[in-house]
A and B are shown apart, each in its own frame.
Chain A
């Protein structure tokens, strides 16, 4: 028994000792006046650290940058911290708009409307006006929004992005197609693909294993075929997914499968693999976000490609692409250092810092004035910013279960397992179930 006791005393002593060292560390945290920032953007860490250093030199205010990656781990940390009231001064919210709304409703996010609209110095110097309207819009809750959130803008975009198609010019020339004449319409797209096929060249790739990418592309075409209003009416439950327009959207994927346009295996590919495929010229087209410029540059600097909007199916409505903020940060409403946090974010989104950030990370800046510093290909992505939309700016939202059934259904169409009609019926069934559940 003696040995037993001795062992325990030793081990508790050891634990207590490690405990002490940690405690002193904790003490430091509590007393510090520095602003703490949590983020998940590991590929922007170096650039952000550099900016934090510059900020500290300019203002003598300390900023502590803490990285949690990958993004799933980050999301867990933020949700867990929300439960204990230990969120930092500045952090980012990942996920859909309803999650964002929930954070706001719980009092964890400061409404930045006042700060954004305040006139500093002369009339034109309004913080809000420096941003791309679309980049700011994803963080906005409009008057009468479906979540019942007080109207306002709740987040500051650090950078921007759009999701579009890109095509490989070299492969185009190889197939005897005009490398400066990419497909504008669906029919041209099919035609060009046939030409590529004839020359034994590969087709289209995207990370369709991550189903949100299917969602992005399909909703581009849905808006093009039936217009925004009808899409939203569907989300509200007023239009059925069995509507001919929705069948038409699904049939595009059927045609894609029939024409064997998709690179083999793309249905379950993660986007990083899809990016490798396009970078190594094993696909002529890709559907990807503007961040791809940096990815392709790293893997194949000689790649000759250009961004284009997805080919239009109909001329009834314009084609809209997804776009808006890349990563956004919010200010913790419960933090005693709110003012300092706002000051830091304002500094971070000033032209000089934005130009540095976009050059260092090859991302679209969130501030218009910094556009002049970016590469030509990247500005190709920026050109469509005015045309951009995003689920975060929709006035109504589809149930996640229905979105999943829709995207998974498209996967089934692409592998030839289900017809567009079957998928539409199944999606509508899911929709009705969710409607009934939420009516309760």
Chain B
């Protein structure tokens, strides 16, 4: 082995060393601690944490339908976000990628919902969805659909979807910014060449844009999944998980367990299981997309 080779090899490790130090200190250690706590019945306060083995996990997997229901709700919102929110983000990124009049203005405007604080978002949407004085009900009455009016956030049929709409509205700006950056880094020459060859917009998208954008699509969809599965603030400021369990999501359950019931150990077990599920989804996503890329 020659010196040059060792240097190159070491070089790679040196590059990731700072990131890895951060990871070890600020992520791995807390994660290990949480895993350790998940095997106890700790109440979050006392200095002793009685060891209970895998009891928490057993109860969680076999005997906690509410948690799994909350998981189902999160999957529902995530599915909607993947389809609707990302399509919207992509469409808008597309339109702004063209040399459109006022393109710069739109770019700033679409980033407003992510920037706005949760308090404003909660206040505004509570007002929009209000059963008696809500903007949405006013609008529906105005266009002659008065029979559809309701208290959107407390009607079991619409609560979850109403919350999803808020989440997607607040979130599409993120995807928009990333997708736009991706689109902007595609060389214009490729488009021009295709145009010269007489390709229409759809073919240009299919042959040039889509293949080059696949990595960015993967990035955005993984971020959407992770971001949406962990939805919390919006729920707390609009429905608090109700009515009944209709808008409960994993994080609201974990927090309820940790703060409401003082079962810190159990809450940690929920966190570990939830984290592993997210990890599994992301791995599958990465695998599938790698296969797609090779095709």
A interface residues, Cβ below 8 angstroms from B: 4, 72, 75, 79, 82-83, 95-96, 98-99, 102-103, 105-106, 202, 208-211, 263-270, 273, 282, 400-401, 404, 408-409, 411-412, 414-415, 417-418, 433, 437
A72 and B259 contact, CB distance less than 8 A: yes
Q: Which of B105-113, B183-191, B239-247 contacts A (4 or more CB under 8 A)?
A: B239-247
The one of B153, B154, B262 that contacts A400, using a Cβ cutoff of 8 Å: B262
Contact check, B131 vs A265: say whether CB atoms are below 8 A apart: yes
Smallest CB gap from A264: residue in B: B131
A412 closest partner in B (C-beta): B244
CB distance from B54 to the nearest CB of A (A): 15
| B43 close to chain A: CB less than 8 A | yes
Besides the contacts A208-B242, A270-B240, what 5 more A-B pairs have beta carbons closer than 8 Å? A72-B259, A96-B262, A202-B132, A211-B240, A417-B244
Of B44-52, B211-219, B283-291, the one contacting chain A is: B44-52
Q: A209-B239, A211-B240, A408-B244 are in contact. Are A268 and B159 (CB under 8 A)?
A: yes
Complexed CA–CA distance, A415 and B239 (Å): 13
Q: Sorted from nearest, which 9 A-B pairs have the closest CB atoms? A: A264-B131, A265-B151, A400-B261, A265-B131, A102-B45, A267-B154, A268-B154, A264-B151, A209-B240
- Considering only CB atoms, which chain B residue lies closest to A207 in the complex? B240
- The interface residues of chain B, by DSSP majority, are classed as loop
Closest partner residue, chain A, to B237 (CB atom): A270
Contacts A202-B132, A263-B131, A282-B133 given; indicate if A103 touches B240 (C-beta within 8 A). no
Contact count band on B: 35 or more
Question: Can you report 24 residue pairs joining A to B where beta carbons are below 8 Å apart?
Answer: A79-B44, A95-B262, A98-B43, A98-B262, A102-B45, A102-B46, A103-B45, A211-B242, A264-B151, A267-B242, A267-B243, A268-B153, A268-B154, A268-B240, A268-B242, A270-B126, A282-B133, A400-B262, A404-B256, A408-B245, A414-B243, A415-B155, A415-B156, A437-B59
**Which residues does chain A contribute within 8 Å of B259, judged by CB atoms?**
72, 75, 95
Contact A273 B262 (CB under 8 A): no
Are B261 and A210 in contact, CB atoms less than 8 angstroms apart?
no
Do A264 and B261 touch (CB < 8 A)?
A: no
Nearest CB on A from B128, distance (A): 12
Q: Which residues of B contact A95 (CB under 8 A)?
A: 259, 262
Closest A residue to B122 by CB, please name it: A270
B151, B244, B260: which has the most chain A beta carbons within 10 Å?
Answer: B244
Contacts of B131 on A, CB cut-off 8 Å? 263-265
Contacts of B262 in A (CB 8 A): 95-96, 98-99, 102, 400
Q: Is B193 an interface residue (CB 8 A)?
A: no
Determine if A408 and B242 form an interchain contact, defined as CB atoms under 8 angstroms apart: yes
